[in-house]
Amino acid sequence: MNPNPNVKYPIEGNQNVHFIKNTITKANILVGDYSYYDAKDGETFEDRVLHHNEFLG
C-alpha cells in the first residue's frame, strides 16, 4: 500500500519526514506528490531553498 500523498507526515508518529507538496507556500517551487524531506530540526523545505528567488521562476 502506498502512503497517502495528501497527508503532511507519511510515517505516522514521525514528524521529521514530511511530504513537501503539503508544506510549501511559494508558487515558484514545484514538487511531485511523493517528494519528501527529512527535517531533523523541524525546518521546512522552503527554509532550505536559498537561491531560487521568485523573479527567477
How confident is the model over 12-55, as pLDDT tens digits?
999 899 999 998 988 888 899 999 999 887 778 888 888 877 76
CA–CA separation, 39 and 16 (whole Å)? 5
Alpha helices in the chain (DSSP H): 45-48
pTM higher than the cut 0.85: no
Q: Is the dihedral of CA 21, 25, 45, 30 positive or negative?
A: positive
Angle at 38 between CA 23 and CA 33, to 5 degrees: 50
Grid coordinates given for 10: 507519511
Q: Cα separation of 56 and 37, whole Å? A: 23
